[in-house]
Structure 1
């Protein structure tokens, strides 16, 4: 017996006919500048690689589709066969303003060769107070990577009350709040603090809360170099509690800069720090952190081991105190203790200074040459100028405990003399993805792109997604590697084949092609009021 299927199942068959019609309809047409095809595409959201075509129209990603789903006609097609295609990396903590404002290093090639297409500046409390003026200066100069900016607490405080070693008055806090508010209106990501550094170290918690509350109004970020990462003043865990309380009171997101347990006194405290952060997250405080994959930190010699009280006011006042015989006993005792906390004079390596004869030597070696105890040698050396050091002060166990946490993203904190400026992202990849397998490839990519963008409220990049800025990197998963080390800190990394910044190819076959395609990444203006 024949059954009339159309009468028996009219809705079902009609649906099949409609769906069949959809499947046989012509794919959407896209006219693009570039088509990237045949690559292992990681869109950046911590999922596995996919077989996708990616089209770029001017500065924007205009199509992401499976091969054949869309008709994409491109001026140029890039065959990424055997290569990874991912979002450009975002570095949430750099010190690249000097380079970006220069006439010869503004391409930021040492970051492009790591795959970094956006750098954040103004960290550690040292950010500008006039965001709009600096943004215009950067874009007029031409920059090789995108840049976003924090307004810096230390800079704001210095503008209002200098380097005075005291709490701010009510009127001074009001002045500082006005500066921060204008900075947020001009597109700052948020407020950065460096409560370990002068003059931020002189500020009360209440002062920082007052300024961070302004940031919270604009859904901004409170980025902090903790008041203490060791036992220099209130202690690592107490400093972390202070930061959490600031964010909670100000109702804003907390981002802990270059999270670490610095020095022998706090080795092993990563476990307690992680528990503290995750307990606060469960209680409703929004928290993230960044980390560079090195066991040595980097800073200036005076910042590392000089007591904060001796650096108050002016440089002349600082030097006068260093040379005051009445203070010598107190100074040498405190400096010796600070050297001990960092692992001893042998752990402090001079990495950058105008007198190149000092570079590559430890404080222990220089003390012998000067025929002085390390603490007296340090007092003499800091008066010669800003000497940069690498301080070998972290344990591998602590570093690894932090690096696997889902709320920790990749950063460099790049400074002259330290290989982190040239090699942090490939160092993390080679050591913790390829060798130790602490992280998967998809997680490394997400920690270096979309998660960073999400934590910092950067909404127009960080993913390979239609409508977002075309910051895309094509790289060799077997060849992507660091070349810089502590002996040769400024060697470019390898393995990046092609780098797009805002839809322009700036790195091709691993070589910079002299295009300055970077832009100022301005935070969208949001105000709860």
Structure 2
């Protein structure tokens, strides 16, 4: 008899009698995302794949190794749709991606905000040759494509330039990109028209790609938050493709409370048939450079040298000073901008207001001086918690980190959401948190080979006790690893055991299900 058929009241499975299951993980609380509930199950793994699922204890006789986790949660590994982790993955010393592994994240997405490798296939090949600690997937970035063809030019693309950009998008979609990402707030994307983005998005749509965007405005910097939502929806509708809103937020005092109207816009479009999802990090502060936060884009056009030249131009001083002052106000004031990464240790950990006072300068003048030197990172406390909560409870919003140096979100976003919004405030259930961090994210990104505990999927699994998970990073010390996600499997390989990373580099290049 070639197969042993195990028929249970719970599920039906087939196990090849000639090959025992490599290992089984078992618990009273295995998360079934299809039913959105916990079940007492055995989960069998053969090679990279989940090859058996049965009632607890049923697979013990078939397993080479049986790992009983008692009442700990067994969940699919988390998928972070917005990470900026390529620099870590590319370096030998950080390629294990421990700041994500220790959050329970087994797959990271890169290429967000319009910034990606120019050649995804080349980058993926290099990463796999050296080995990486987590799985990785990519968007092709509009800013990257535009910069490759047009540089930082503030003008409309010619037909020839648009054709070249389309070719780059198509090449990368063929290589396995999830879709096209834009960062229309950033350079040079801010110089692009809606029509340009639509034309490029249509190429990605031909390959069933997603349109992922950092909105042109999350505040009142240019067209306004709600108008930026409308623009994103219009691009997706015209290109006939799904829309994913990156790190959705109402940023700054002028738009606090507008989450309700933003949600109404999204849900109205969904009723028209537009597939829309979003991701969100569970913090009240965003993170970027001080230049990106408050220096106008026209000042930054052309790169660092051009920026410094304008900042030193006395004829432009009044205009620049006024616009920086207004941008600081939008973000809630100089006391809400915390300096987190700088080559000047005497100002690290201080607010812009404190630094300005200590130098007897205005906040705007302080920014002008800081923007001339090495990159200064800030945490911008610009969000209203009720807006964060309004977005978080929506079934189309998933968990992300938008990880960046200088912000604890890079080290603790998933633990933060679990601790604050599940265990403490009970805004969402543990089951909802797990769904928003796994299967819902996979569905949003067209990833169908992982993200759930199902037969035939890759065995990316995490085991943890929710109450033992700890957020160790803070805005004062942003780069401390989280603890509590003590057992992690990636593609069937044990990579974190009893809280310790074992050195295994099991990550793969993840492509959408259309390829």
Fold agreement, TM-score > 0.5:
yes
CA contact (8 A) 1:296 1:390 kept: yes
Distance (Å, rounded) in 1 between the aligned partners of 2:319 and 2:506: 53
SS class of match (1:496) = coil
Distance (Å, rounded) in 2 between the aligned partners of 1:22 and 1:218: 40
| The one of 93, 96, 104 aligned to 1:107 | 96
Matched, 1:293 2:282: yes
Q: For each residue in 1:247-276, what CA deviation from the matched residue of structure 2 results, as whole angstroms up to 9, or x when unmatched?
A: 000011100000000000000000000000
Other-structure match for 1:12: none
Matched, 1:508 2:497: yes
Distance (Å, rounded) in 1 between the aligned partners of 2:408 and 2:504: 25
Distance (Å, rounded) in 1 between the aligned partners of 2:240 and 2:46: 39
Matched, 1:445 2:434: yes
Other-structure match for 1:13: none
Bigger mean CA deviation after superposition, 34-43 or 464-473: 34-43
Distance (Å, rounded) in 2 between the aligned partners of 1:37 and 1:22: 18
Gaps of 5+ in 1: 1-20
Other-structure match for 1:350: 339
CA contact (8 A) 1:27 1:69 kept: no
Other-structure match for 1:181: 170
CA contact (8 A) 2:13 2:53 kept: no
Other-structure match for 1:266: 255
Other-structure match for 1:7: none
Distance (Å, rounded) in 1 between the aligned partners of 2:293 and 2:480: 26
Distance (Å, rounded) in 1 between the aligned partners of 2:389 and 2:239: 31
Distance (Å, rounded) in 2 between the aligned partners of 1:263 and 1:280: 25
SS class of match (1:75) = coil
| 1:447-462 to 2 correspondences below 5 Å | 447-462=436-451
Distance (Å, rounded) in 2 between the aligned partners of 1:108 and 1:306: 32
Q: Are the structure 2 counterparts of residues 180 and 371 from structure 1 closer, same or farther at C-alpha, using a change threshold of 3 Å?
A: same
Bigger mean CA deviation after superposition, 454-463 or 514-523: 514-523
Distance (Å, rounded) in 1 between the aligned partners of 2:372 and 2:21: 58
Q: Are the structure 2 counterparts of residues 72 and 203 from structure 1 closer, same or farther at C-alpha, using a change threshold of 3 Å?
A: farther
CA contact (8 A) 1:298 1:388 kept: yes
| The one of 60, 65, 72 aligned to 1:76 | 65
Distance (Å, rounded) in 1 between the aligned partners of 2:14 and 2:238: 52
| 1:222-261 to 2 correspondences below 5 Å | 222-261=211-250
Gaps of 5+ in 2: 1-5
Flag as ranges the 4+ runs of structure 1 deviating above 4 A: 21-30, 68-72
CA contact (8 A) 1:46 1:446 kept: no
Other-structure match for 1:422: 411
Q: CA deviation at 1:287?
A: 0.3
Other-structure match for 1:5: none
Matched, 1:136 2:125: yes
SS class of match (2:274) = coil
CA contact (8 A) 2:13 2:52 kept: no
Distance (Å, rounded) in 1 between the aligned partners of 2:178 and 2:117: 12
CA contact (8 A) 1:422 1:489 kept: yes
Other-structure match for 2:155: 166
Other-structure match for 1:332: 321
Matched, 1:118 2:116: no
Matched, 1:193 2:182: yes
| The one of 203, 206, 210 aligned to 1:221 | 210
Q: For each residue in 1:224-283, what CA deviation from the matched residue of structure 2 results, as whole angstroms up to 9, or x when unmatched?
A: 000000000000000000000000000111000000000000000000000000000000
Distance (Å, rounded) in 2 between the aligned partners of 1:123 and 1:109: 20
Matched, 1:371 2:360: yes
Q: CA deviation at 1:45?
A: 3.1
CA contact (8 A) 2:24 2:60 kept: no
CA contact (8 A) 2:27 2:73 kept: no
Q: For each residue in 1:262-314, what CA deviation from the matched residue of structure 2 results, as whole angstroms up to 9, or x when unmatched?
A: 00000000000000000000001110000000000001111100111111123
SS class of match (1:409) = strand
Q: CA deviation at 1:170?
A: 1.6
TM-score, length basis structure 2: 0.96
| The one of 97, 110, 114 aligned to 2:86 | 97
Distance (Å, rounded) in 1 between the aligned partners of 2:45 and 2:371: 51
Distance (Å, rounded) in 2 between the aligned partners of 1:77 and 1:22: 20
Q: How many residues align?
A: 506
Other-structure match for 1:390: 379
CA contact (8 A) 2:28 2:56 kept: no
Matched, 1:67 2:47: no
Q: For each residue in 1:463-507, what CA deviation from the matched residue of structure 2 results, as whole angstroms up to 9, or x when unmatched?
A: 011110010001012212211111121111121121001111111
Q: CA deviation at 1:73?
A: 2.2
Distance (Å, rounded) in 2 between the aligned partners of 1:210 and 1:103: 38
| The one of 431, 452, 477 aligned to 1:463 | 452
Other-structure match for 1:307: 296
Give the root-mean-square deviation of aligned CA atoms.
1.7
Q: CA deviation at 1:46?
A: 5.3
Other-structure match for 2:396: 407
Distance (Å, rounded) in 2 between the aligned partners of 1:334 and 1:142: 46
Q: CA deviation at 1:65?
A: 1.1
| The one of 265, 273, 279 aligned to 1:276 | 265
Distance (Å, rounded) in 2 between the aligned partners of 1:107 and 1:23: 39
TM-score, length basis structure 1: 0.93
| The one of 406, 415, 421 aligned to 1:432 | 421
Bigger radius of gyration among the two: 1
